[in-house]
Structure 1
Amino acid sequence: MARSLNFQQIQAFKAVMETGTTTRAAQVLNTTQPSISRRLSELRLATGLELFDIYNGRLRPTRESRQLYESVRRHFEGLEKIETAVHVLRKSGTGVLRIGSTPTLAAGLLPDVMAEFTRQNPEVYISLQTFGTAQLRDYLSQGLIDFVLTTGHIENAEVSSTRLLSTQAVCVLPLGHPLARQRSLSLEHLQAHRLVLLDDNDDIMVAMRARLRAGKQHEDTLVETNSSLTICALVAAGVGVGVVNPFVANTFAGQLAVRELRPAIPVDVTLVRSVALAPSMLANRFVELLTRQTLPDPINSNRASDQQSSTMHPPSTPTTP
Structure 2
Amino acid sequence: MTRPLNFQQIQAFKAVMESGTTTRAAQVLNTTQPSISRRLSELRQATGLELFDLHNGRLRPTREGQQLYRSVRKHFEGLEHIETAARVLRKSGSGVLRIGSTPTLAAGLLPQVIAAFMQQHPKTYINLQTHGTPQLKEYLSQGLLDFVLTTGHLEHGDVITNSLLKSRAVCLLSRNHALAKSRSIKADQLRAQRLILLDENDDIMIAMRGKFPFQPGHENVAVETNSSLTICALVAAGVGVGVVNPFVANTFADQLAVLRLDPPIPIEVTLMRSAALAPSMLASRFEEMLMSQTWLDRVGGSK
Identify if the C-alpha distance between structure 1 residues 84 and 141 changes in structure 2 by more than 3 Å, giving closer, same or farther: farther
Q: Tell me what 1:284 maps to.
A: 284
Residue 208 of structure 2 corresponds to residue 208 of structure 1: yes
Q: What residue ranges of structure 2 are gaps of 5+ in the alignment?
A: 1-16, 22-54, 69-76
Shift of 1:154: 1.9
Residue 275 of structure 2 corresponds to residue 275 of structure 1: yes
RMSD: 3.2
Q: Distance in 2 between matches of 1:230 and 1:80?
A: 40
Q: Tell me what 1:294 maps to.
A: 296
Alignment check: 8 A CA contact 1:191 1:219 kept: no
Residue type of the partner of 1:223? V
Question: Residues 103-252 of structure 1 correspond to what in structure 2 (within 5 A)?
Answer: 103-213=103-213, 220-252=220-252
Deviation readout 1:273-314 (Å, 9 max, x if unpaired): 11000111111111111112134468xxxxxxxxxxxxxxxx
Alignment check: 8 A CA contact 1:98 1:146 kept: yes
Please list every run of at least 4 consecutive aligned residues from structure 1 whose deviation after the TM superposition is greater than 6 angstroms.
41-46, 77-83
Specify the SS of the correspondent of 2:212: helix
Larger radius of gyration: 2
Shift of 1:79: 10
TM-score, structure 2 normalization: 0.69
Specify the SS of the correspondent of 1:196: strand
Alignment check: 8 A CA contact 1:93 1:124 kept: yes
Deviation readout 1:144-174 (Å, 9 max, x if unpaired): 0100011111211100111011100000011
Q: Distance in 1 between matches of 2:223 and 2:198?
A: 9
Q: What residue ranges of structure 1 are gaps of 5+ in the alignment?
A: 1-28, 47-76, 299-321
Identify if the C-alpha distance between structure 1 residues 86 and 211 changes in structure 2 by more than 3 Å, giving closer, same or farther: farther
Identify if the C-alpha distance between structure 1 residues 90 and 248 changes in structure 2 by more than 3 Å, giving closer, same or farther: same
Alignment check: 8 A CA contact 2:109 2:299 kept: no
Q: Distance in 1 between matches of 2:247 and 2:99?
A: 18
Specify the SS of the correspondent of 1:207: helix
Alignment check: 8 A CA contact 1:198 1:205 kept: yes
Q: Tell me the percent identity.
A: 62
Deviation readout 1:244-297 (Å, 9 max, x if unpaired): 000000001211111000111011110101100011111111111111213446
Specify the SS of the correspondent of 1:91: helix
Q: Tell me what 1:101 maps to.
A: 101
Q: Tell me what 2:256 maps to.
A: 256
Specify the SS of the correspondent of 1:212: coil
Shift of 1:229: 0.6
Specify the SS of the correspondent of 2:167: strand
Shift of 1:181: 3.2
Q: Distance in 1 between matches of 2:236 and 2:81?
A: 38
Residue type of the partner of 1:140? L
